[in-house]
Amino acid sequence: MPELAEVAYACSLWNPGLGSVVEEVICHPKSRVYRELDRKVLEEELVGEKLASAETHGKQMLFGLSGGNWMGLHLGMTGWLSVEDENYEAGKHDALVLRQSKRALVFRDPRQFGKLTLDQGKGKPEWWELLPPLMTCPEFTMELLKKVLKRHGRQPIKALLLDQRYFPGMGNWMADEVLWRAGIQPAKLSGKIETSKQKLLFEKIVFVALGAMDSVGKFGGDPPEDWLFHVRWKDGLLCPNSGEPLVREKIGGRTTCWSPALQK
């Protein structure tokens, strides 16, 4: 599933359409991304409106339109955005196509785990305003992290880092990266993490979030070459820092990569 930076990059792919009018809306007749939305309402409300803004918050996207409509978009596991030419014909997996005079904005979702919503009003939707603080903003603090660790003290830290209520946009590879850099074993109970390690954990959460946004979020592709990301996918690979074997196992129901030599 796309994480913080991948979602930001995907959202930016629609930037060429900002300031242009939506001339036609094509909704896939059977896609499950409309499970909370009437396709006809989306088609009626967006045609003739100008795409005015695009932003992300964790794994969520929000597109503002000139008439006071706000379209929320979640990519799910396989969703992605693209820009095609104005004569583009909707494909089998295209959940939504917004046709403009010079381009077509496409939301493609083969497995249909993504979701579209539509809200109306002068201000941003209430659900957007209630989202938790981003890991890249000043509102995400050490005190907030301490409270979360205490509240969920019996939960493995790897599983807790994936909780979108506290770490919006954090996904599997980012959580592994954070814990590897902080030297914390992913199965360690959150309430057992020492005070000194809590401070380091906070620093590495912010470092990884900002680093991912500055690389993947801006240019797509992968994070910097010295990140764990590049060796975590296959069994039998070595830790970039210690040179010792990495371990891959299920923790909290998710495949986890970690370095026993560093994460003790």
Q: Tell me the average pLDDT across 28-32.
A: 96
Q: What is the DSSP string of 126-172?
A: HHHHTSPPPTTSTTS-HHHHHHHHHHTTTSBHHHHHT-TTTSTT--H
What's the angle, vertex CA 164, arms to CA 1 and CA 132, rounded to 5?
130
Model pLDDT for residues 47-100, shown as the tens digit of each residue: 999 999 999 999 999 999 999 999 999 999 999 999 999 999 999 999 999 999
Q: What average pLDDT does the chain have?
A: 96
pLDDT, mean of residues 103-118: 97
**Residue 34 in this model has a pLDDT that exceeds 90:** yes
Q: Give the confidence band of 252 by pLDDT, cuts at 50, 70, 90.
A: confident
pLDDT greater than 80 at residue 1: no
Report the alpha-carbon distance of residue 95 to residue 254 in Å, rounded. Answer: 28
**Structure token pair of residue 168:** 């919006």
The yes-or-no verdict on residue 217 having pLDDT over 80 is: yes
The CATH code of the domain at 4-129 is 3.20.190.10
Indicate the pairing of strand 94-99 with strand 115-120.
unpaired
One-letter amino acid at 158 equals: K
Q: Could you tell me the strand order of the sheet in which 80-84 lies?
A: 24-27, 94-99, 104-108, 80-84
Which segment of 3-12, 15-24, 252-261 scores lowest on mean pLDDT? 252-261
Structure confidence at residue 121 (pLDDT): 95
The sign of the dihedral angle between the CA atoms of 88, 94, 98, 103 is negative
Domains 4-129 and 142-258 share a fold: no
Measured distance CA(20)–CA(133) in Å, rounded = 31
Largest Cα–Cα distance in the chain? Answer: 59
- 105, β-bridge pairs: 83, 98
Give residue limits of the domains in the chain: 4-129, 142-258
pTM score, two decimals? Answer: 0.94
Using alpha carbons, select from 35, 12, 40 the residue that is nearest to residue 25.
40
Q: Which fold has domain 142-258?
A: Helicase, Ruva Protein; domain 3 (1.10.8)
What is the spatial distance between Cα 229 and Cα 239, in angstroms, rounded to a whole number?
Answer: 11
Looking at residues 28-51, what average pLDDT do you find? 96
Asked if 70 and 86 touch (Cβ cutoff 8 Å), the reply is no
CB 132 within 8 A of CB 166: yes
Residue 59: strand, helix, or coil: coil
Residue 235 confidence (pLDDT): 82
- Please state the rounded mean pLDDT for residues 175-188: 98
